[in-house]
């Protein structure tokens, strides 16, 4: 190739400047790669919230910019408040909405919050208005995980790993943290306490009267649960307290439902018996000696027992043997208030 006439070699200064510019570009590129690997989770969460709002058509609330008028020290909001109704709840908690809807759900608000000292430690705060304290306890107890630890907070509360759940009157609170570190969970507890302290309720949840109907011997601690609808798969059976008991190496379930009048309890007992036999393929066995009027059904290796006593429908579900079913029926009947003559 012929030489280019009047060609000039770059000076040492020009060469140094060029190399400096290239080095600067390389440094900027390296910084961008590191920044991407350590992306601020607050940005990720905020983007997810915006995308969720776009999908559901739920605009951030403008009347109340925060769930709390004043956040506990060390906490900062990461996103705007989101508000959901019965029509849109499944957009936020797909797969779990029916549990809340069947228990009297009114509305839910939620917001993401982070620790000011450590933005990677954050949580989402859900506030469910369940309409009544019993409804709030129902969803609270129905979702209680095995191995959870009760907490002295609100009406009822427990912690399970990185989740803190609280009942405060008609409200069910759920705080889901990004981790279960001590600082994060202490912040979650402070946030729940702040809500309880600043939110007035007309009535508090108290299921002690119904919980006392169950025999204390053999009761699995913390297992008393209020089921709102479709109990045991029977669509007529609603608002039933259940509790788990140790039976040998396994467990058995006892249940009690308080009704307005003895006639209603008796009618429901007959309907449940028919459901176990007709719909579930069970076989009614000869009636036990006690309690009077009780029925035991062989449900293919597990045994169910049903009886009515005054305004109570009660029984045992999935006992391992007929003998166990009859034994627990007697124990449960003895705990119920005597029927009036």
Mean pLDDT of 89-117: 95
Q: Look at residues 46, 183, 67, 162 and name the one whose alpha carbon lies nearest to residue 117.
A: 183
Same domain, 177 and 140: yes
Of residues 34 and 259, more confidently modeled: 259
Rounded to whole angstroms, the Cα distance separating 89 from 66 reads: 19
Same domain, 81 and 220: no
Q: Residue 218: which domain range?
A: 208-335
Mean pLDDT of 260-285: 96
Mean pLDDT of 150-170: 97
Q: What is the pLDDT of residues 203-246, one digit of tens each?
A: 999 999 999 999 999 999 999 999 999 999 999 999 999 999 99
- In this predicted structure, what is the pLDDT of residue 13? 47
Same domain, 191 and 243: no
Domains in the chain, number: 2
- In this predicted structure, what is the pLDDT of residue 9? 53
Same domain, 125 and 271: no
Confidence of residue 11 (pLDDT cuts 50, 70, 90): low
| pTM assigned to the model | 0.79
Share of the chain above pLDDT 90, in %: 75
Q: What is the pLDDT of residues 120-133, one digit of tens each?
A: 999 999 999 999 99
Domain assignment present for residue 341? The answer is no
Peptide linkage before 291 cis (omega within 30 of 0)? yes
Same domain, 228 and 159: no
Rg (CA), the chain: 30
Asked if 168 contacts 156 with a C-beta cutoff of 8 angstroms, the reply is no
**Among the three residues 198, 219, 240, which one is the final residue of a domain in this structure?**
198
Mean pLDDT of 139-155: 93
Q: What is the pLDDT of residues 21-49, one digit of tens each?
A: 455 455 544 444 444 433 333 333 333 43
């Amino acid at each position: 190739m012929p030489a280019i006439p009047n060609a000039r070699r770059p000076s040492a200064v020009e060469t140094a400047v060029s190399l400096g510019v290239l080095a600067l570009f390389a440094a900027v590129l390296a910084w961008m790669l590191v920044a991407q690997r350590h992306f601020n989770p607050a940005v990720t969460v905020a983007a997810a919230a915006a995308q969720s709002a776009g999908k559901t058509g739920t605009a951030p609330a403008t009347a109340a910019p925060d769930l709390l008028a004043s956040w506990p020290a060390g906490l900062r909001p990461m996103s705007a408040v989101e508000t959901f109704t019965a029509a849109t709840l499944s957009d936020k908690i797909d797969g779990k909405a029916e549990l809340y809807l069947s228990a009297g759900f009114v509305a839910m608000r939620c917001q993401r919050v982070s620790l000011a000292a450590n933005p990677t430690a954050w949580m989402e705060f859900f506030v469910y208005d369940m309409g009544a304290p019993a409804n709030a306890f129902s969803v609270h107890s129905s979702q209680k995980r095995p191995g959870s630890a009760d907490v002295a907070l609100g009406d009822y509360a427990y912690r399970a790993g990185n989740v803190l759940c609280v009942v405060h009157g008609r409200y069910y609170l759920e705080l889901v943290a990004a981790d279960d570190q001590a600082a994060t969970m202490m912040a979650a507890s402070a946030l729940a306490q702040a809500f309880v302290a600043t939110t007035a309720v007309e009535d508090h949840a108290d299921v002690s009267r119904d919980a006392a109907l169950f025999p204390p011997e053999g009761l699995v601690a913390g297992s008393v649960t209020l089921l709102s609808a479709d109990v045991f798969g029977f669509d007529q059976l609603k608002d039933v307290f259940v509790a788990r008991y140790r039976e040998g190496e396994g467990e058995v379930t006892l249940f009690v439902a308080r009704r307005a009048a003895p006639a209603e309890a008796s009618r429901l007992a007959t309907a449940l018996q028919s459901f176990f036999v007709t719909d579930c393929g069970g076989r009614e066995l000869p009636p036990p000696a006690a309690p009077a009027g009780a029925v035991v059904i062989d449900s293919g290796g597990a045994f169910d027992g049903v009886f009515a006593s005054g305004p109570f429908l009660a029984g045992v579900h999935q006992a391992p043997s007929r003998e166990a079913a009859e034994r627990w029926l007697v124990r449960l009947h003895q705990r119920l208030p005597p029927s009036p003559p």
